[in-house]
Amino acid sequence: MKKQFVYLFSEGNAQMREILGGKGANLAEMTRLNLPVPQGFVVSTEACNDYYDKDGVISDVIKDEVIKNMRSLEKITKKNFNSNDNPLLVSVRSGSRASMPGMMDTVLNLGLNDEVALVMAKNNERLAYDSYRRLIQMFADVVHGVDKKHFDQVMDTIVDKYEVETDHDLSVIALKEVVERYKETFKREVKEAFPQDPEKQLMQAIESVFKSWNNDRAIYYRRMHKIPDTWGTAVSVQEMVFGNMGEGCATGVAFSRNPATGTKELYGEFLFDAQGEDVVAGTHTPLQISQLKETMPKQYAEFQEISNFLEKHYHDMQDMEFTIENYKLFILQTRAGKRTAQAAVKIANDLVREGIITKKEAIESLDLDIIDGLLHPQFKLEALQSIEPIASGLPASPGAASGLIVLSAKKAVEYSDKGRPTILVRMETSPEDIEGMNLSLGILTARGGMTSHAAVVARGMGKACIVGSSDLRVFEDHVMIKDKKYFEGDQISIDGGTGFVYEGQIETQSVAIAEDFDNILTWSDEIADLKVYTNADSSHEIQTALDFGAQGVGLVRTEHMFFEADRIRAVREMILSTNEMQREVALSKILPIQRDDFEKIFRTVKELPVTIRYLDPPLHEFMPTTTQDIEELATVMSMSVHEIRDTIRSLHEFNPMMGHRGCRLAITYPEIALMQTRAIIEAAINVTKEMKDNVLKPEIMIPLVGDVAEFNFLAKKVKTLADQLIRESGVSINYTVGTMIELPRACILADEIALEADFFSFGTNDLTQMTYGFSRDDAGGFLKSYYKLGIYGDDPFSTLDTSGVGELIKIAIDRARKVKPNIKIGICGEHGGDPRSIAFFKSVGMNYVSCSPFRVPIARISLARD
């Protein structure tokens, strides 16, 4: 059968988002539901991919199908495209499988030309020329990449000349002049006349939407949201309805619930006598949707009804576009609405309470990248009490951020490369700013409403954002906040939850989990089979994780305890020791400090399991680098600077990642492992004596084992000492000795190791490094070009490579469970907090995932998802 590339709205439905794109599929679904949707057709994502397969040519087959569908649309609308008799105008809209708001392009009023404008003018002159000027400008922008400013300049002179406030107030005569001047501008910038042939307009616009799939901002957005490049975009071609026809006309966007707070109310903005772009572009200050209720109560009520209906139908909060043409309401788009973390959690709970969705659906509905924002800091209340805001604006996206002012996205990138936190301050943002927005901690704009580009994108990123602050005037190299001048690099703080801007830096604090969020987590735990542990090195961090619901500690990195100022000297003494005696003296200085740390940890975790990893990094990492520190150490050790430098040089390795580290250290210097064993077991004994009912569960983890003989060598020593200490103390301690699986060889030989080890914990950072043969620290540079070239899609260090590294994990689990079916297996790499990696760990039958404290809630929810 011949492949179909183009579908009428009436041929599609919501399930077809892969080929119709989200926008197209929902327009089709709403058509099916008999909602008032202007009709049209969708050129599929498959047509887009075909276009790219043919190196940028729309095939004749597809062109023919487009024309054929246009003929059908003419029949449906009883209007004629490319004709002077009852002309049909259309919009050409982009839409991929995942919604990418503002990333790609739209052309409105397509089909207009000089003659068609004359015909339309017979009915409504103003409409004809207002629509025509919009078409010329959008077409120039979308199809030829002409900067909007060329047209804005023309508009500004004409607005001045006719002494009106904005383009909305222009007379017909003035609008005609705009059209003429726009055509000249078009010709000057594009070097050809504005195309008068509607069919040509149509094909060029479709091609441009295809092309916009690969514009820089779309590529960046996809990378950020992990959307595959191969999906392609669909193109919807839809009959125009006119919100700019004069009285009884309006256009706007609205959410079925408040996207900032989650309150159940129609929430949005609109303009009378305008076209959609005016509202979203942030160029005109829109009205609150509640004002529509006063002026057009009937249409408002109808919209409210449709909004409720769509929520029930889609089981989610909706973000809708509407246009009222001559008192008739049309719905132009619906999709799941972007929302703040607070709103997301409240809405999920409310929808469950209202019986619209199940608990499972509530869990699935959350955008985890945004929920993450909920777990991030707010300004300390005490800090706020003593200072006054210097400006205020609309609280577009909550969260607190302090940083240095940057006035361009480029500057944000520059600062961020130097590791300096920034607040991006702009007149308004545009899609070109997206990278700068992502790299900044917060965004502050002078213009725009709650649905402006800055607001929508910031909410999507879960970033602090304030928009439309009229206290601000933004210039090229400085910003005026009220009467005070600020420059790039000056420190400010913004609170996206209240809309207040402050001078200087303000201390932040984390927020407590609210009841609604706790419900979600509890429901998640009911569904999840795996447990969530945490990676934490101090009792303080562990407590944070426990508060977030961690059920154990999957990784305590003991070297972090070595680095602190009061102990690093003893560690260095140990490294510089030339014989075992000296080394033991140095270790005996470290012992009480480590034991103390472990006691604190045991008191915090109580009966929960806690996995303690033995010293792992190469020793040179502990050595001083500055001359001053080296001299100091020389004095303490009564050695010459020369000798110390020699030792440091001798510790140097060409590939430290693959050098003398992990269990290899302890095999060379068993005293280190024995000291750590003593510290752990003695701490456990002391704490057990203190807290009678608790049976502590320390899990001793030997890192970087590649051969069972390595494990056996150390495990035997560890157990001998531990058992002796326990026997002498007379209390019982349930300790185990296991290993970290982080070498490909360990995966392959997992059965041999499992016979000896009590547990496995996958160290997926090293396992990824060792499997790929490049290190995370060195790969940054060339991986960037790999992504650009499409050689790799994802960063294997943030999302587990399931096909390579994942296969090794499967092999290891398989072989281990064959010899020891109940062996406890978990993962403690960074991947333990990544939802997509978690889905994989779940599928291979691990017992737990372990992640950093702040990721614990995200991991709990991820484990409950499909």
Interface with Mg ion by CB under 5 A: which residues? 106, 333
CA proximity to 481, closest of 384, 394, 390: 390
- SS3 per residue for 598-617: HHHHHHHHCCCEEEEECCCC
Smallest distance, ligand ADP to C-beta of residue 241, A: 5
**Of 113 and 333, CB closest to Mg ion:** 333
Among positions 102, 373, 403, 549, the unique one binding ligand ADP when judged by CB under 6 A: 102
Distances in whole angstroms, Cα of residue 557 to Cα of each of 509, 534, 828, 829: 25, 12, 11, 12
Smallest distance, ligand ADP to C-beta of residue 323, A: 5
CA proximity to 251, closest of 140, 309, 139, 328: 328
**Of 240 and 542, CB closest to ligand ADP:** 240
Among positions 201, 238, 340, 402, the unique one binding ligand ADP when judged by CB under 6 A: 238
Residue 848: beta bridge partners?
Answer: 531, 826
CB atoms under 10 Å from CB of 56, counted, come to 10
Smallest distance, ligand ADP to C-beta of residue 388, A: 38
**Of 333 and 764, CB closest to Mg ion:** 333
Give the burial string for 798-830 (b: 16+ CB within 10 Å, else e): ebbbbeebbebbbebbebbbeebeebbbbbbbb
**Of 101 and 744, CB closest to Mg ion:** 101
Smallest distance, ligand ADP to C-beta of residue 504, A: 37
Among positions 276, 706, 738, 853, the unique one binding ligand ADP when judged by CB under 6 A: 276
Phi/psi at 343 (5° precision): -65, -40
- Using rule CB under 6 A, residue 244 touches ligand ADP: no
CB atoms under 10 Å from CB of 269, counted, come to 21
Select from 98-106, 355-363, 422-430, 435-443 the region that touches ligand ADP (CB under 6 A). Answer: 98-106
- Residue 306-325 contact track with ligand ADP, rule CB under 6 A, x = bound: ---------------x-x--
**Of 101 and 624, CB closest to ligand ADP:** 101
d(CA 291, CA 270): 9
The item of ligand ADP, Mg ion, none sharing an interface with residue 130, based on CB under 5 to 8 Å by kind, is: none
Among positions 91, 299, 451, 775, the unique one binding ligand ADP when judged by CB under 6 A: 91
The item of ligand ADP, Mg ion, none sharing an interface with residue 240, based on CB under 5 to 8 Å by kind, is: ligand ADP
Quick check: helix, strand or coil at residue 652? coil
Among positions 93, 257, 572, 842, the unique one binding ligand ADP when judged by CB under 6 A: 93
The item of ligand ADP, Mg ion, none sharing an interface with residue 241, based on CB under 5 to 8 Å by kind, is: ligand ADP
Count how many residues are written for the chain.
866
Q: Catalytic annotation on 831?
A: no
Distances in whole angstroms, Cα of residue 203 to Cα of each of 22, 200, 235, 242: 22, 5, 11, 23
Smallest distance, ligand ADP to C-beta of residue 95, A: 7
Query: What tokens were used for 64?
Result: 């023919």
803: left (phi over 0), alpha (psi -120 to 50) or beta: alpha
Smallest distance, Mg ion to C-beta of residue 333, A: 5
Quick check: helix, strand or coil at residue 93? strand
Distances in whole angstroms, Cα of residue 302 to Cα of each of 3, 36, 154, 299, 553: 39, 11, 39, 5, 54
**Of 310 and 528, CB closest to ligand ADP:** 310
- Using rule CB under 6 A, residue 493 touches ligand ADP: no
Quick check: helix, strand or coil at residue 156? helix
- Using rule CB under 6 A, residue 134 touches ligand ADP: no
* Active-site pick, 48, 249, 663, 828: 828
Smallest distance, ligand ADP to C-beta of residue 369, A: 20
Smallest distance, ligand ADP to C-beta of residue 38, A: 5
Phi/psi at 638 (5° precision): 45, 55
Q: Catalytic annotation on 620?
A: no
Work out whether the CA dihedral 399, 402, 403, 405 comes out positive or negative: positive
d(CA 137, CA 147): 9
- Using rule CB under 6 A, residue 849 touches ligand ADP: no
Residue carrying the six token digits 């001045």:
160
Select from 113-121, 123-131, 269-277, 455-463 the region that touches ligand ADP (CB under 6 A). Answer: 269-277
- Using rule CB under 6 A, residue 794 touches ligand ADP: no
Binding positions for ligand ADP, 23-42, rule CB under 6 A: 38
**Of 325 and 616, CB closest to ligand ADP:** 325
Helix ranges, 453-538 (H):
453-461, 515-527
Amino acid at 484: K
**Of 332 and 441, CB closest to ligand ADP:** 332
Residue number, nearest CB to ligand ADP: 276
Select from 47-55, 272-280, 698-706, 790-798 the region that touches ligand ADP (CB under 6 A). Answer: 272-280
Smallest distance, Mg ion to C-beta of residue 180, A: 27
Site residue total, ligand ADP (CB under 6 A): 19
Smallest distance, ligand ADP to C-beta of residue 138, A: 9
Residue number, nearest CB to Mg ion: 106
Smallest distance, ligand ADP to C-beta of residue 330, A: 7
Give the burial string for 329-367 (b: 16+ CB within 10 Å, else e): bbbbbbbbbbbbbbbbbbbbbbbbeeebbebbebbbbbb
d(CA 756, CA 749): 12
Among positions 113, 244, 333, 451, the unique one binding ligand ADP when judged by CB under 6 A: 333
Select from 238-246, 593-601, 647-655, 760-768 the region that touches ligand ADP (CB under 6 A). Answer: 238-246
- Using rule CB under 6 A, residue 280 touches ligand ADP: yes
CA proximity to 803, closest of 840, 832, 845: 840
The item of Mg ion, ligand ADP, none sharing an interface with residue 276, based on CB under 5 to 8 Å by kind, is: ligand ADP
DSSP 80: B
CA proximity to 81, closest of 195, 206, 201, 186: 201
The item of Mg ion, ligand ADP, none sharing an interface with residue 462, based on CB under 5 to 8 Å by kind, is: none
Smallest distance, ligand ADP to C-beta of residue 23, A: 6
* Active-site pick, 453, 465, 620, 831: 453
The item of ligand ADP, Mg ion, none sharing an interface with residue 280, based on CB under 5 to 8 Å by kind, is: ligand ADP
Smallest distance, ligand ADP to C-beta of residue 238, A: 4
Task: List, in order, residues 6 or more apart from 273 with CB less than 8 Å away.
Answer: 168, 243, 244, 245, 246, 247, 249, 250
d(CA 482, CA 390): 8
- Residue 425-464 contact track with ligand ADP, rule CB under 6 A, x = bound: ----------------------------------------
Task: List, in order, residues 6 or more apart from 595 with CB less than 8 Å away.
Answer: 678, 679, 680, 682, 683, 686
Q: In terms of C-beta density within 10 A (0-12 exposed, 13-18 middle, 19 or more buried), how is residue 438 classed?
A: buried
**Of 106 and 208, CB closest to Mg ion:** 106
Query: What tokens were used for 726?
Result: 């326990």
> Is 418:392 a contact under the CB 8 Å cutoff?
no
**Of 9 and 502, CB closest to Mg ion:** 9
Select from 99-107, 190-198, 334-342, 433-441 the region that touches ligand ADP (CB under 6 A). Answer: 99-107
Active site residues: 453, 828
Binding site for ligand ADP (CB under 6 A): 38, 91, 93, 101-102, 106, 108, 238-241, 275-277, 280, 321, 323, 332-333
